[in-house]
Amino acid sequence: MSVKMTKYKHAEFADDDTSIGSVQFTEGISSSATHIRYHTSTSMWHKRSMLEKSLLILVATLLFVIMVLAFLLGAADTRIREATILNGNPKLVPPCLTEDCIRIASNILEAMDTSVDPCEDFYSYACNGWIKANPIPEGKSSWGTFMKLEQENQLVVKHVLEKPIDNLKSKAEQKAKLYYESCLDVNDTIEELGAKPMLELINKIGGWIVTNSSFDISIWKLQKVLQILQNKYNIGALFSYAVGEDDRNSTRHIIQIDQSGLTLPTRENYLNKTEHAKVLAAYLEYMTKVGILLNGEPNATQAHMQDVIDFETQLANITTPNEQRRDEESLYHLMSIAELQELAGFIDWRKFFEDALRIVDKKVTQKENVVVYAPEYLEKLAHLIKEYEETPRGKMILNNYFVWQTIKTFSGCLSKAFRDAYKGLRKVLLGSEGGEEPQWRYCIADTNNVLGFAIGAIFVREVFQGDSKVQAESMVNNVRIAFKSNFKNLNWMDVETRTSAELKADAISDMIGYPEFILHPDQLNERYSILEIRRDAYFENNINLNQYGLRKNLEKINEPVNKTTWSMSPPTVNAYYTPTKNQMVFPAGILQKPFYDAKYPSSLNYGGMGVVVGHELTHGFDDQGREFDKDGNLHQWWNNKTIEKFKERTKCVVDQYNKYKVNGKSINGNQTLGENIADNGGLKAAYHAYLDIAKKQPEQPPLPGLNLSHRQLFFVAFAQVWCSSVTNESANLQIEKDAHSPARIRVLGSLSNLKEFSKEFKCKPGSKMNPKKKCEVW
């Protein structure tokens, strides 16, 4: 599960609560092959007697029969070796030689490296071929099967968006097309305007010393600036707030407040100055370049920007690390606005929220309750702000910080010079400058980010087949049954907790493919009715989208929770679980190969999509998800002794993943605990679901050329979903920031804990993929 309250530039979708070429067979004869030619001579044949002719015919016939038998025996031997071997009982099962089977087998084989011992390094065994054949494209910092599928999805949407606007089925889709074209800058408006849109916005939020030497700090007010940024332009600064389901009463919405305000990806980027010296230098250079593009004097601009970095460093110092924010019950603090005022009185909170709710004609009182997820941070922030407000220079630094938060939010909507300014920092952070891929790809992704349901309507209409949804529902039920069936084997759970866990598993709802409303133009249009989009106004469109997102969020105050809403667009190659809704969602974008294909054998579908289902299902029972009951409410519903035993098992997982290293850096087992639990539990549940359905199906023939049973193919399919390459810089950033372990570790960690894997690949105890000590939670 990710940290709450993450706010994105004009994104329609909040951060998810939890989240995931072919070989050509050529047949020929090598130069060393023996060629036997049969010559016949008409003249010699006529000279033979009838007996000689009969004997010759007989000999020729016998030779032919012998050759056929030899061929059949060889083929039979091949089939035996390729046959599925169940319970040690070889069966003569002919391989599947259909075009689909050959293509599937070819793709799998191309990705593999059979020179690697699967019991020593299964990821390399399954993925080395893929990695060799798929180097990271220019401009990218990583490349994997997820990204390849995303690019295929982008092509589908691009094909439709580039048709005449009258071809689109709804006004919402037409707005998506207009936004896409504004991003492409078809009329060169962005380049012509240059810095002008940002300079106008800076004036609207109160001005900046860098762009206006006569800026008067004496009239500057923190309350006013914060309200403009947060409540008008939806720009996070110092803290973030949103309206979401109350963790302790998931039927109602409530205002939630959390720590926020850093520009760089992690607090360590600021605090570990030795390791991140290059990052801080590149950050200052980026900020200075942007300031100069906004007419700032170079030396003065750099000094002001250094002040901003120093202030953000102090914010980082009072920010609690994510790895220490995994206990949802300890994070939740319900308080009135009056109590919040007493805790952190650096602004008038009632006035602040009155200003926000005025947008949707709603009121707030001192008794209004809010949930604070970071009271210690807000209390320390109040002391920090007080220090800065005591002097004109301190106020100037605060204003510089707020203006910079505005600039970095919208600078990507400006001319190429502004976008190029970021390349140096991106290179240091991710190992790639970016910008090499076609602009249309960035614009499709951007449009999906902000108008995802309109894009979803296009995507679903073009590619999503109804039978995929039905078959996915069946898979979800099968994995759920397998997950629940394992409860009886968990001797660390008491009977009462086990019964409640079964009820929760049964109550987890699933939404597959897309929300129904996107297929109805009137409903889709209604969603975006207040949003104005113009073809030649990319910067203004993004401001409108920020304001639209804020309004939609605030509208939820005092409204009942709709537990069927989606937080991810249909074309997205991902899935998620929401604990307050006890719900998992699988968008249409991921219900495609390599995760799922109706032509795949069940082993591949369950190894791909089945594990994704199991992963999201297990999130309901990871170290955070388990704190929410079947109705999505946060409270203790487990027996105390069972909680203690659960924590003993999760400690094993933390210790295991702490030992893994990438580029010499250790994985953070605490930070990645929830995702690691989900990876392990999801793999196990999906595998047993596959075994259960395999018993009920006719035996599926093996795939040609692989010499692998379908049980083994399940694990290969699972691993190949995660085949990927990543730059060293991007890998290091992932270790510092991401709640997920790197792809390689996700494969190695979960497989090495599963005894069924070692059994199928006959891995000796003590080998790297079959360690004697295994961690098991679910």
Residues serving a catalytic function are: 616, 679
Report the DSSP beta bridge partners of residue 249.
246
Q: From its phi and psi, is residue 10 left (phi > 0), alpha (psi between -120 and 50) or beta? A: left
Report CA 21 to chain centroid distance, whole Å.
23
* 151, 169 contact by CB (below 8 A): no
* 3-state secondary structure labels for all residues of 556-568: CCCCECCCCCCCC
Measured in degrees and rounded to the nearest 5, phi and psi for residue 464 equal: -85, 125
Report the DSSP beta bridge partners of residue 333.
372
* 3-state secondary structure labels for all residues of 80-99: HHHCCEECCEECCCCCCCCH
Instruction: Answer whether the bond into residue 594 is a cis peptide, omega within 30°.
Output: yes
- Number of residues written out for the chain: 778
Inter-axis angle of helices 349-357 and 538-554, nearest 10: 110
- Cα distance between residue 287 and residue 424, in whole Å: 11
**Tokens standing for residue 141:** 């910092």
* 11, 573 contact by CB (below 8 A): no
Question: For the stretch 674-702, what's the b/e string if a residue is b when 16 or more beta carbons lie within 10 angstroms of its beta carbon?
Answer: bbbbbbbbbbbbbbbbbeebbeeeeebbb
CA-wise closest residue to 149 among 592, 643, 664, 690: 592
Measured in degrees and rounded to the nearest 5, phi and psi for residue 370 equal: -135, 160
CA distances to 367, 434, 445 from 188, rounded to whole Å, are 52, 21, 20
DSSP code at position 255: E
**Tokens standing for residue 323:** 């790895």
* 335 SS3 class: strand
CA-wise closest residue to 21 among 159, 131, 137, 123: 131
CA-wise closest residue to 350 among 26, 64, 290, 358: 358
- Cα distance between residue 141 and residue 378, in whole Å: 35
* 617, 685 contact by CB (below 8 A): yes
Report the DSSP beta bridge partners of residue 257.
241, 372
Q: From its phi and psi, is residue 435 left (phi > 0), alpha (psi between -120 and 50) or beta? A: left
* 500, 637 contact by CB (below 8 A): yes
* 84, 728 contact by CB (below 8 A): no
CA angle 600, 604, 610 (to 5 degrees): 115
- Cα distance between residue 91 and residue 690, in whole Å: 20
Q: What is the CA radius of gyration of the chain?
A: 31
Measured in degrees and rounded to the nearest 5, phi and psi for residue 635 equal: -170, 170
* 253 SS3 class: strand
CA-wise closest residue to 149 among 736, 587, 604: 587
- Cα distance between residue 381 and residue 387, in whole Å: 10
- Cα distance between residue 322 and residue 319, in whole Å: 9
- Cα distance between residue 335 and residue 349, in whole Å: 12
* 406, 109 contact by CB (below 8 A): no
What is the per-residue DSSP string for 683-749?
HHHHHHHHHHHHHHSPPPPPPTTT---HHHHHHHHHHHHT-EEE-HHHHHHHHHH-SSPPHHHHHHH
Q: Provide the pairing of β-strand 661-662 with 665-666.
A: antiparallel
